[in-house]
Structures are given as structure tokens and as C-alpha cells.
Amino acid sequence: MNKNWPLWEIFVRSKNGLEHRHFGSLHAADAEMALENARDVYTRRSEGVSIWVVESKYITASNPEHNGELFEPAQDKVYRHPTFYDLPDDVKHM
């Protein structure tokens, strides 16, 4: 039966003020069922206060074969991290 159900990606906000984070994926026939399934699979130990579901086919993912051109050029550009400044002692939490 579930062979025909599409896959959904589940995002859960664990408490107010935090962002929704990807929790996993599950099968469901429609959006309403995806929400109910997500509620039971991912929030039954009170992990969440809000759920987003999106059908997996609507996610556009980068291709691992392109990792070279996408991500490697950033590796030798340490100056893109803001680590070359002397911070005054009075500035905390940086």
C-alpha cells in the first residue's frame, strides 16, 4: 500500500524562537496525512511546537558530482571568515 505513497520531508520547530529543522522523511498520501504522520513519528516525545511538510519531489538538491566546483573553491579562502580583527576586550559573546 505505502509503495504508492509519495515521500515527504518533515521540518519541526522544537520551540518558539528557533527555526524549523529537517527531522527526516516519511510516506503519506496527502499533506494532511503527512502532518498527522509527522506528529506521531517525530513529536510524540514533545520534540516540537510546529511542523512543516513538503513533498520531497519539490526539493531541488545540489548534485554531489558538482561538489568540486561548488564547494572546493571556498576551502583556501580563510579570509572570508571574520577572524582577522582584534576585538576589544569589552566586546563579549563573539
Is there binding between residue 26 and another protein (CB under 8 A)?
yes
Q: Are 51 and 10 in contact (CB under 8 A)?
A: yes
Q: Are 7 and 27 in contact (CB under 8 A)?
A: yes
Residue 44 binding another protein, by CB under 8 A: yes
Select from 7, 18, 31, 41 the one that contacts another protein (CB under 8 A): 41
Q: Does 1 bind another protein (CB under 8 A)?
A: yes
How far is it, in rounded angstroms, from Cα 48 to Cα 39? Answer: 9
Q: Closest CB to another protein among 32 and 47? A: 32
Q: Which window, 39-47, 50-58, 70-78, 84-92, contacts another protein (CB under 8 A)?
A: 39-47
Q: Is 52 in the site for another protein (CB under 8 A)?
A: no
Contact call for residue 33 and another protein (CB under 8 A): yes
Report the residue from 6, 15, 32, 67 that binds another protein according to the rule CB under 8 A.
Answer: 32
Residue 3 carries which side chain, given as an amino acid letter?
Answer: K
63-89 in b/e burial notation, b at 16+ Cβ within 10 A? Answer: eeeeeeeeeeeeeeeeeeeeeeeeeee
